[in-house]
Structure 1
Amino acid sequence: MRTIFRRRDSTAPRALDIYDIAYLAGGPRRVVRTALIALRERGAIKFIGYRVKALRAAEPADHPVERVLIKRCHPVGRQSDDAAVEVLISPEVEEIERRLVSYGLLSRSWHHLTDAGERELEAAKQQEEAFPAYVFDGLAAVPDERLRAAVRKAMPVPAGLGQSLVRMGEALQDADDYDHDSGSDSASDTSSDWGSHSGGGHASCGSGGGGGGD
């Protein structure tokens, strides 16, 4: 899934793919969540309890973020949160940030959306069927309850103030998911996926177990 945007200060085209748009919509955490969901939907990975494993017979990944995630989970699988945080701080995700800054879509200092970034994100939202809804709305747009739970467990929680904010957002998201599963209207993903690369922290690589898997 790829769409072409043109720089407003240049005639040279640039291509913003699904992970570029995911970064604009929710930062590096949304990028990793998007990869987990997309690869699971394509049958390239599966969740087993608290672990995630790349499947040998899957089609080759066609994006650097997907490739690094599959590499972390092949052949025997990894703790899903451990694999996710390694992708979160990987050069492949940092390259997305660098590229979007160079396009003028993120600010150079705090890496927040610029006015141009806001316009590009809105333009992407208007392209029906160009990108999956979960790129913009997060886990609230994922109908599979087990997949939502597995992806949520895989994502690291930033330390300090970010940790409190994300936990608060996750609690609201749980309520949204409950309403969705009960047939009520579902709100957008209210959890803040804009966690910093350095704020994630590595999760423990203990043995996998427990429920909530695929």
Structure 2
Amino acid sequence: MQTVIRVEKLSKTFHHNKALHAVDLTVQQGEMVALLGPSGSGKSTLLRHLSGLITCDKTPESRVELLGNTVQHAGRLASDIRKSRAQTGYIFQQFNLVNRLTVLENVLIGALGSTPFWRTCLRWFSPSQKQEALQALTRVGMAHFAHQRVSTLSGGQQQRVAIARALMQKAKIILADEPIASLDPESARIVMETLRDINQNDGITVVVTLHQVDYALRY
């Protein structure tokens, strides 16, 4: 089985406080992995290193690789990090959607990496892209909200839109940072089942940070 995430000797220090110390991690293609721990244990910090949102301490042996591509090494981001980011969908705890745009427009943002710059400036997407976005929304049970403003949705609904955006991106890896932390139990169940469905049926590798052991064991 192919290793799609490799972390070696990763450390991170914030103001003389060690958040991560010599972390090693490997994740195989098609796995769904939970990073468990209480608040402040470094789960989100580790996840942000995987996508290069932050850099690690400048120790020569530290390295992060995704899909065989270097994300960062010795505290420096790779020059071709866009290649890794284009194949990685990131699900944030606070959704990171554009409230004034519709659900469909937010999902179409996932296609920006494969769309000519002038078209993104004009927010012009092809009919096939719009159809693909609707299919992604159907996968997460949100197609009937396609033309509704995101600001009118509940937290659980917004999180499913964020997952649809990652599908639109054609991500090979989904990194989900505390995706159910601010959701009620029913919404949390739907979001976790959606991630599990994508993992099992599409073979997309999923890494999710959680502090609830029962959810990790269930999904």
What's the TM-score bracket when you normalise by the shorter of the two chains?
A: under 0.3
Per residue, is there more strand in 1 or in 2? 2
Give the TM-score, by structure 1 length. 0.25
* Structure with the higher fraction of residues in helix conformation: 1
TM-score by length of structure 2 reads: 0.25
